[in-house]
Amino acid sequence: MVRYLRLIAVWAAPLLFVAVLFYWPLTRILALGFQAGANSVELGHSTIAAVWFTVWQAALSTVICLLLGIPGAYILYRRRFRGRNFLRVLITLPLVLPTIVIAIAFVAFQKLNDVYSIFGIDQNSNPVFWIIAAHVFINYSLSVRSIGGVWATLDPELEEAAELAGAGRFRTLIAISLPQLRSAIVSSAALTFLFCATSYGVILILGGGLVHSLETEIASAAVQYLDLGKAALLAMFQTGLTIAALGLSTRIGRRAVSLEQIDESTRLPRLSRRDWAAIAITAPTIFGLIAIPLLSVFVRAFQSPTGWNLDNFTLLATRGERELLNVTVLEAAGNSLRNLAISTTLAVIIGSAVSFLLSRNIRNRGHQFATWLLDLAFLLPMGISSVVLAFGYLITFNGQPFALRTSWLAVPLIQSLMATPLVIRMLYPALESISPEQREAAATAGASAAQTWWFIELGIIRHVFVTAIGFAAIASIGEYGAASLLTFGNQATLPTVLFQLISRPGSTNFGMAMAIAAILILLTYVVVTLVAVRRPRPAWLASR
């Protein structure tokens, strides 16, 4: 009994954090949505069309991601070749880059007219094409890494036996590999659908005001038309989609969604001519879908009306053409870094505590169900759109003692809520993989749970811990949805400044946007590369 009371006491802080800052505003939204439904709030034809577009484009993007991702997972996780680790880092960039930067990358891609002749793409094609392309660009890595991470741990003997029996690569894939990867595939598909359905910055910029989704309809209803009932009803529908997708994902395959690379313990075979089909799909995907849009940002960043130079970067100390911005880009960067420091610190502290508590194994059925329920409760913020959550803050925290509606603290708090599940998805599976004998040996030697965590477990998972910090920081600095609704005056952040620059005409503004995007891409690449490097374990842990 004492043990359970102690567990409840240590759970109090993280539960209070997520309850007040996430579930309270979410509950207010749901209550307002039910009230709007009871009052028969009418949804116009355009709103229904936006809901339908959200669903079908997310479903189509998911299917494309899986069709491209399975061959990519095979090449990058079941075969070895020179440059494989570089390609793993490259495809990870879109997944962790700010969505506003990704939208800008595709704007730059659209303006490189020479590229279209190579791929036969019409520059003036329907914006829906570019939206789906951007969603596949973002989530391709999720499919490759989640499926490939599981695939790399499978025993290759079954596949080798099938090939010795005369089965070709495709037949082996269908009959042997895919059934073993079912959990990872379903989990990846659920999260990909969720991320595409809650996309905001991509549709806002690439849609050009012609394409609308649930996200844009919620934002316009809440901010432009002050129709809180309609906004809440749409947010309630989106919350239902989120719960269904996350419930399916966590129920079928929790570990498959980690961004952390696994350690391959067996030596993989080299690429061969028999892999030509997978190579023919993967190589054009990485080059045409990933590399060219990213490179196009750098091309445009170094171009100005006077030629190739650094003018766009020197303009970052100004407020843009005709003093468009309320703050300079450098001041906005300072705001973003301040928010990043707060949100990353909170996400790492809360995420580490929750992961530690979830990994404490009490072997009974009731505890296992409670663990799954708590895991889902802390994972849910990752699936709820930041636009929806910002709307919740607008209607919830508009007075004392939590006057966050007008405070700059609202943005880093929402960022920490979005980054915390990311930390948990990395640390929790890593802690679960630690042998219970190591904890028992430490306990036998008289170590407390805190000492075991600090001296044993943290040393074992230290690379995963560093990776979690890096990805939490990246996720925090690029958040746009909440910032677009909750930042005012001199509290503008880099994503909001980027949108202001890219949405206004003028070569100066466009060039500055490209320069900011190039810097963010470069910084993200450096962080992802650093956290992807495997470092040797310290000597004092080598024998453990």
Write out pLDDT tens, residues 291-310.
888 888 898 889 888 888 88
Per-residue confidence (pLDDT) for residue 122, from 0 to 100: 53
- Which SS3 state, helix, strand or coil, does residue 534 take? coil
- Which SS3 state, helix, strand or coil, does residue 402 take? strand
Per-residue confidence (pLDDT) for residue 537, from 0 to 100: 46
Lowest mean pLDDT among 113-127, 172-186, 376-390: 113-127
Q: Would the pLDDT of 350 be above 60?
A: yes
Lowest mean pLDDT among 113-117, 291-295, 477-481: 113-117
Average pLDDT over residues 305-332: 82
Do 99 and 138 meet the contact criterion of CB atoms below 8 Å apart?
yes
Q: Would the pLDDT of 262 be above 80?
A: no
What's the CA gap between 121 and 117, in Å, rounded?
Answer: 7
Q: Would the pLDDT of 501 be above 90?
A: no
Q: Would the pLDDT of 539 be above 80?
A: no
Q: What pLDDT band is residue 538 in, cutting at 50, 70 and 90? A: very low
Average pLDDT over residues 53-63: 91
Q: Would the pLDDT of 2 be above 60?
A: no
What's the CA gap between 93 and 246, in Å, rounded?
Answer: 23
Per-residue confidence (pLDDT) for residue 167, from 0 to 100: 65
CA distance readout (Å), 432 to 15, 72, 354, 442? 21, 28, 13, 16
Per-residue confidence (pLDDT) for residue 364, from 0 to 100: 57
Per-residue confidence (pLDDT) for residue 363, from 0 to 100: 56
Per-residue confidence (pLDDT) for residue 81, from 0 to 100: 85
Structural domain boundaries in the chain? 2-40+61-262+275-302+311-542
Q: What pLDDT band is residue 65 in, cutting at 50, 70 and 90? A: very high
Q: 476 CB contacts (<8 Å, ≥6 apart)?
A: 339, 340, 343, 344, 347, 412, 415, 416, 418, 419
Q: Would the pLDDT of 442 be above 90?
A: no
Q: Would the pLDDT of 312 be above 60?
A: yes
Per-residue confidence (pLDDT) for residue 15, from 0 to 100: 87
Q: Would the pLDDT of 64 be above 90?
A: yes
What's the CA gap between 112 and 133, in Å, rounded?
Answer: 16
Do 313 and 449 meet the contact criterion of CB atoms below 8 Å apart?
no
Average pLDDT over residues 461-477: 80
Average pLDDT over residues 121-138: 79
Multiple choice CATH, 2-40+61-262+275-302+311-542, 1.20.1180.10, 3.40.50.300, 3.30.70.20, 1.10.3720.10: 1.10.3720.10
Do 292 and 115 meet the contact criterion of CB atoms below 8 Å apart?
yes
Q: What pLDDT band is residue 86 in, cutting at 50, 70 and 90? A: confident
Average pLDDT over residues 257-277: 65
Average pLDDT over residues 163-186: 75
- Which SS3 state, helix, strand or coil, does residue 83 take? coil
Query: Please, what is the average pLDDT of the chain?
Result: 78
Do 142 and 192 meet the contact criterion of CB atoms below 8 Å apart?
yes
Q: 198-209: per-residue pLDDT in tens?
A: 888 788 888 877
Which tops the pLDDT comparison, 338 or 358? Answer: 338
Per-residue confidence (pLDDT) for residue 542, from 0 to 100: 38
Do 138 and 95 meet the contact criterion of CB atoms below 8 Å apart?
yes
Q: 213-257: per-residue pLDDT in tens?
A: 888 888 777 766 667 777 777 777 777 777 777 666 666 654 434
Do 155 and 98 meet the contact criterion of CB atoms below 8 Å apart?
no
Which tops the pLDDT comparison, 423 or 170? Answer: 423
Q: What pLDDT band is residue 145 in, cutting at 50, 70 and 90? A: confident
**Full-model pTM:** 0.77
Q: What pLDDT band is residue 48 in, cutting at 50, 70 and 90? A: confident
Average pLDDT over residues 176-184: 80
Lowest mean pLDDT among 26-30, 395-399, 402-406: 402-406
Q: Would the pLDDT of 503 be above 60?
A: yes
With pLDDT > 90 as the criterion, what percentage of the chain qualifies?
7
Backbone angles phi, psi at 344, to 5 degrees: -65, -40
Which tops the pLDDT comparison, 320 or 295? Answer: 295
| Cα–Cα–Cα angle for 480, 484, 488, rounded to 5 degrees | 130
